[in-house]
Amino acid sequence: MDYRQIPAILVADAPGLDFLNSVATPVDEEVDWISDGEGLLAWLDQTALVPHAALEAIRNRASADELNDLAARARELREWFRGFVRKRKGRPLVANDLRELEPLNQLLERDQQHGEIVTNASGGVTSFELRANRRWQSPESLLMPIAEALARLVCEEDFTYVKACEGPRCTLMFADHTRGHARRWCSMAICGNRAKVAAHRKRLKEQENG
């Protein structure tokens, strides 16, 4: 299925997990939203991780081969980090887990950001705030907000509540922010509804056989 035919699935409640969910099987066929350079640009646009103007500027400067190579790097990053998350979901991270995050730290080292003081007017009161601005100078810079989202997942989420959807064929993961942490499905409209239908059919069959 062409990734252009269906919007990106953003149900994880954590941008870093949404990145892992950029390959999924929403219906019957697997969809990889970052299967090529244009797919990566479209996914970044939908998730608003990169300003639209920056995406257009890099699209105009970079060749198709450069963007395709960038998408390949993004997929490698995704699958490496997926292994990290799957191994540790459902339990708190520990100090020893930091060693396996070295590839992510190496990527973060190449980020180019600078701070800028700007005004923030609210309710007639003016205040100042420090805003981080990223320099979008090369195609690689598009990986930096992804790396930051993965780092924030590690630093800000309790991995005890990072879960995989219980749908039999679903590969999506999410951060369970619900009260009581009882979330089981990527989406009630998708896997939750399928589970309800399957349970209903099972009950009917049991009644018929009983």
CATH code of the domain in which 39 resides: 1.10.3300.10
Signed CA dihedral, 79, 40, 146, 16: sign only: negative
- Above 90 in pLDDT, residue 50? yes
DSSP symbol at 9: -
How high does pLDDT run on average in the chain?
90
Choose between 200 and 183: higher pLDDT. Answer: 183
What's the average model confidence in pLDDT over 29-57?
95
Max CA distance (Å), the chain: 72
What's the average model confidence in pLDDT over 51-58?
96
What's the average model confidence in pLDDT over 127-135?
93
Confirm whether 65 is domain-assigned: yes
Confirm whether 146 is domain-assigned: yes
Mean pLDDT is lowest, of 170-174, 177-181, 199-203, for: 199-203
Confirm whether 4 is domain-assigned: no
Confirm whether 1 is domain-assigned: no
Confirm whether 3 is domain-assigned: no
Confirm whether 73 is domain-assigned: yes
Confirm whether 121 is domain-assigned: yes
Enclosing domain of residue 80: 9-209
CA–CA distance, 157 with 66 (Å, rounded to integer): 33
Confirm whether 174 is domain-assigned: yes
| Structure token digits, residue 146 | 């992804």
Asked if 3 contacts 31 with a C-beta cutoff of 8 angstroms, the reply is: yes
Residues contacting 36, CB < 8 A, separation 6+: 67, 68, 71
Question: Domains in the chain: how many in total?
Answer: 1
Q: Is the pTM of this model over 0.85?
A: yes
pLDDT band at 193 (very low <50, low <70, confident <90, very high): low
pLDDT of residue 200: 41
CA–CA distance, 23 with 45 (Å, rounded to integer): 16
| Structure token digits, residue 80 | 């490496």
pLDDT of residue 168: 83
Mean pLDDT is lowest, of 99-103, 134-138, 201-205, for: 201-205
pLDDT of residue 174: 97
CA–CA distance, 111 with 27 (Å, rounded to integer): 36
Q: For residue 93, which of 149, 144, 151 has the smallest C-alpha distance?
A: 151
